[in-house]
């Protein structure tokens, strides 16, 4: 066995498909310096209707493992050992197939532990094999394995390769772990990687930076590190504690950027799950008061900051029965101070003017946030939402349906009949989930259907379209609406429409549910 033999091995994975590494390098060149998620689309043997966000599956807890982990790990280690001892197309093909079809995340710890024990004297050859997998493999799972193997066998010089491939968020988790093993001080490399990923990759990378003493990393955590495309709640607590939010917000002068970011962190902590909530944040009371004092001392011109004040105010209005009752630090004086300061902020003319400016904005995010907080200032944003939907400037169907006014529902239904393509939506049932921009009308119908259950007799033509929709979710939403109406409110042709829908329904569970409806069993 030699490094040269591994490097010269005619690898069976080189089958004409582009390597993941090559795709990542190309995607990095396309993205350039923009702060956007890396778009990498490997060629897949099977097209999938639903595609998980990059890195999502490896972050799920309790994944199914169809055999004992130690057994799977030993099988993989045995295949690696055979390839190292007898490099050949056959041994490499067997190893690659195990890696390609396996579930590496479920056995990675056991595998690396066994490798360290059994191949301590063959690290150079193992590293050579790992590099080839990272650089050449056209499938994602073997690349993950290559990164993990490189972490226990490579040298600090491999950190660049590991960091580059790690910008593909399907692999970031493995790169972060590998960097901790390759480098004496991995924090700068992990920080740099964290700044170039925006979804599950950032969540994993920032988690590894928890407890840092690096002032640059701490400041970044407070200003940007918590932001990700999944949910800010995953990182708000980590960044507040590791970034030293209390010390930063207690300064006499706090710049607007930090003030906005602090508000976003506090809003995420108020929401809490799936991350830790504000009740678990020991500095929470002091940070809330310090934040509100800054907000009261200067004009507020940012919607996210106003939103944070409203979140804190609402939280502290529930102190007698809410989740903060009896929590350390959340005493009567704190609640009183929070309410007084929040009220002072929200009474400022600048605040309402900022909300009104947001309602007039062409930016979708600004309008939606302003419309969400407008009721707190006595502003009815519903007519503005209707006008934006009518002019097709942004999708407002979900928010439009959040009304109890039957006359407004009539306006929504009239607009839906005008804007949605019901021939396309009702073109026949499939087992598809309806993902992607080509299903925009289907998604709009779902938003309308999910609240029609509260308005018996209204929108039967939309429900009929939903029953023969090309998406499973819309068909279920249509049945939910009928269930909410109650059988006594069904139109005369409802049973016949349900019968025909059940006859043509391709999904077993949906078909049975339709039959239950026909038989008078209206349960879910």
pLDDT in tens, 38-49: 888 775 544 344
Same-domain check for residues 244 and 148: no
Residues 58 and 15 in one domain: yes
Query: In this predicted structure, what is the pLDDT of residue 283?
Result: 96
Task: Please check whether residues 32 and 122 belong to one and the same domain.
Answer: yes
DSSP assignment of 212-234 = ---HHHHHHIIIIIT--SS-GGG
The reply to whether 523 falls in a domain is no
> Are residues 186 and 242 both part of a single domain?
no
Tell me how far the alpha carbon of residue 492 is from its chain's centroid: 44
**Residue 157 and residue 47 share a domain:** yes
Domain boundary among 300, 326, 347: 347
**Residue 43 pLDDT:** 59
Residue 380 lies in a domain: no
**Ranges of residues in the chain whose predicted pLDDT is under 70:** 1, 43-69, 102-106, 117-121, 319-321, 522-524
102 within some domain: yes
Which of 228, 4, 211, 290 has the alpha carbon at shortest distance from 124?
A: 4
Q: Say yes or no: 47 and 152 in one domain.
A: yes
Q: Note whether residue 365 is domain-resident.
A: no
201 and 296 in a common domain? no
- The domain total for the chain is 3
The answer to whether 291 touches 357, Cβ cutoff 8 Å, is: no
First-to-last C-alpha distance (Å) of the chain: 62
pLDDT score recorded for residue 46: 41
Q: Alpha-carbon torsion 126, 122, 108, 94, what sign?
A: positive
Question: Per the domain annotation, does 412 fall within a domain?
Answer: no
Can you give the residue range of the structural domain that contains 90?
A: 3-208
- 42 with 106, same domain: the answer is yes
Say what the pLDDT of residue 48 is: 40
- Give just the sign of the alpha carbon dihedral 403, 405, 409, 412: negative
User: Is residue 80 located within the same domain as residue 197?
Assistant: yes
pTM of the model: 0.85
The predicted structure's pLDDT at residue 436:
79
- Residues 64-87: pLDDT tens digits? 444 566 777 788 888 888 888 888
Neighbours of 73 (CB within 10 A): 21
Q: Are residues 22 and 128 in the same domain?
A: yes
Model pLDDT for residues 449-477, shown as the tens digit of each residue: 999 999 999 999 999 999 999 999 999 99
CA distance 349 to 372: 19
At residue 363, the pLDDT reads 94
40 shares its domain with 20: yes
Output the pLDDT for position 79: 85
The reply to whether 10 falls in a domain is yes
208, 224, 252 - which closes a domain? 208
- Asked if residue 374 is part of any domain, the answer here is no
Domain termination site, one of 312, 347, 382: 347
- Domain assignment present for residue 58? The answer is yes
Q: What is the distance between the alpha carbons of residues 219 and 233, in angstroms, rounded to a whole number?
A: 18
Nearest-Å Rg of the Cα atoms of the chain is 28
What are 270's two structure tokens? 């108020």
96 and 174 within one domain: yes
């Amino acid at each position: 066995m030699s490094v040269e033999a591994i490097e010269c091995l005619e690898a069976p994975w080189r089958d004409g498909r582009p390597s993941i590494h090559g795709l990542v390098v190309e995607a990095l060149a396309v993205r350039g310096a923009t702060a956007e998620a890396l778009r990498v689309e490997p060629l897949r043997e099977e097209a999938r209707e639903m595609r998980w966000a990059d890195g999502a599956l490896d972050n799920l807890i309790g994944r199914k493992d169809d055999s004992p982990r130690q057994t799977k790990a030993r099988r993989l280690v045995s295949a690696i050992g055979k390839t190292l001892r007898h490099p050949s197309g056959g041994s490499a093909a067997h190893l690659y197939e195990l890696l390609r079809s396996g579930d590496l995340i479920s056995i990675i710890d056991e595998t690396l532990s066994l490798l360290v024990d059994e191949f301590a004297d063959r690290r150079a050859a193992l590293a050579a094999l790992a590099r080839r997998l990272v650089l050449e493999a056209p499938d994602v799972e073997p690349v993950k394995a290559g990164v993990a193997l490189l972490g226990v066998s490579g040298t600090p010089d491999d950190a660049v390769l590991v960091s580059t491939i790690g910008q593909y968020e399907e692999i970031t988790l493995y790169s972060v772990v590998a960097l901790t093993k390759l480098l004496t001080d991995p924090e700068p490399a992990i920080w740099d990687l964290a700044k170039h990923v925006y979804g599950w990759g950032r969540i994993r990378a920032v988690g590894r930076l928890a407890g840092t003493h690096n002032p640059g990393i701490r400041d970044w955590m407070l200003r940007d590190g918590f932001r990700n495309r999944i949910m800010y709640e995953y990182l708000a607590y980590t960044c507040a504690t590791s970034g030293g939010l209390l010390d930063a917000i207690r300064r006499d002068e706090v710049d607007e950027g930090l003030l906005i970011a602090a508000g976003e962190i506090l809003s995420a902590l108020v929401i809490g799950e799936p991350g830790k909530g504000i009740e678990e944040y020991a500095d929470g009371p002091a940070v809330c008061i310090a934040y509100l004092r800054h907000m009261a001392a200067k004009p507020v011109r940012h919607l996210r900051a106003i939103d944070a004040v409203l979140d804190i105010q609402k939280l502290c209005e529930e102190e007698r029965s809410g989740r903060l009752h009896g929590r350390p630090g959340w005493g009567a004086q704190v609640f009183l101070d929070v309410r007084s300061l929040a009220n002072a902020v929200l009474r400022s003319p600048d605040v309402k003017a900022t909300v009104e400016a947001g309602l007039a904005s062409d930016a979708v995010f600004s309008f939606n946030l302003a419309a969400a907080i407008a009721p707190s200032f006595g502003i009815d944003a519903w007519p503005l939402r209707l006008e934006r939907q009518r002019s097709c400037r942004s999708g407002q169907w979900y928010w439009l349906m959040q009304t109890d006014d039957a006359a407004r529902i009539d306006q929504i239904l009239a607009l839906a009949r005008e804007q949605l393509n019901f021939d396309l939506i009702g073109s026949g049932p499939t087992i598809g989930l309806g993902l992607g921009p080509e299903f925009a009308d289907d998604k709009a119908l779902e938003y309308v259907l999910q609240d029609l259950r509260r308005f018996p007799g209204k929108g039967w033509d939309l429900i009929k379209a939903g029953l023969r929709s090309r998406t499973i979710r819309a068909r279920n939403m249509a049945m939910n609406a009928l269930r909410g109406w109650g059988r006594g409110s069904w139109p005369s042709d409802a049973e016949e429409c349900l019968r025909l829908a059940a006859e043509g329904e391709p999904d077993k569970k949906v078909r049975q549910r339709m039959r239950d409806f026909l038989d008078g069993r209206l349960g879910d």
